[in-house]
């Protein structure tokens, strides 16, 4: 299976919404905090609807028009998209969403996307939110220089997230 990291294209929007829903269903069910398939579908299912797909198309088109402000890369496996990493530049740089489907994890794709993202982000602070009980994601971000800030949120009143940041220095290898 050949996996290619590439800039997102507007036509990818029809596959990105379903990818996000699939990634959420693989990653976030947790009976201890009351998150099950139904809860996820109620809150993230819209990403796979016509409206959600249209929002993705708008984001990708905006990223293509303003590549200094918006970042979006996908991982392609043939016609299938199996991963995505996006970011925004505003007062600072924020990373997210980032998802890689479980069947292609462990092949270095996340690290390769992070290298591209850090190159795009340049020097400064990069921040993200990560689900607290997604321990593999927390470790992944720590391996890439992120530390927790102590800031927490309950997304939609239930999903426990941690804020993480990383200082990216000018002239330093970002991998």
**Tokens coding 35:** 């998150």
pLDDT of 168: 76
Among 55, 53, 73, which Cα is nearest to 64's? 73
**Tokens coding 113:** 């996307």
Q: What is the pTM of this model?
A: 0.92
pLDDT of 169: 75
Among 46-50, 56-60, 138-142, which stretch is predicted with the lowest mean pLDDT?
A: 46-50
> Pairing relation of β-strands 159-168 and 147-155?
antiparallel
Omega before residue 97 within 30° of 0, cis: yes
User: What's the pLDDT tens digit per position in 98-153?
Assistant: 999 999 999 999 999 999 999 999 999 999 999 999 999 999 999 999 999 999 99
């Amino acid at each position: 299976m050949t996996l290619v990291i590439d800039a997102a294209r507007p036509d990818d929007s029809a596959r990105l919404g379903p990818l996000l829903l699939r990634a959420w269903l693989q990653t976030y069910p947790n009976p201890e905090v009351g998150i099950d398939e139904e809860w996820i579908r109620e809150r993230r299912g819209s990403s796979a609807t016509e409206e959600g797909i249209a929002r993705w198309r708008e984001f990708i088109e905006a990223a293509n028009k303003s590549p200094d402000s918006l970042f979006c890369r996908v991982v392609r496996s043939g016609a299938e998209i199996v991963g995505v990493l996006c970011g925004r530049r505003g007062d600072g740089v924020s990373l997210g969403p980032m998802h890689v489907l479980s069947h292609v994890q462990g092949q270095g794709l996340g690290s390769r996307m992070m290298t591209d993202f850090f190159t795009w982000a340049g020097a400064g602070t990069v921040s993200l939110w990560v689900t607290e009980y997604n321990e593999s994601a927390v470790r992944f971000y720590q391996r890439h220089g992120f530390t927790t800030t102590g800031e927490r949120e309950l997304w939609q009143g239930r999903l426990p997230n941690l804020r993480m940041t990383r200082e990216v220095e000018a002239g330093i290898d970002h991998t």
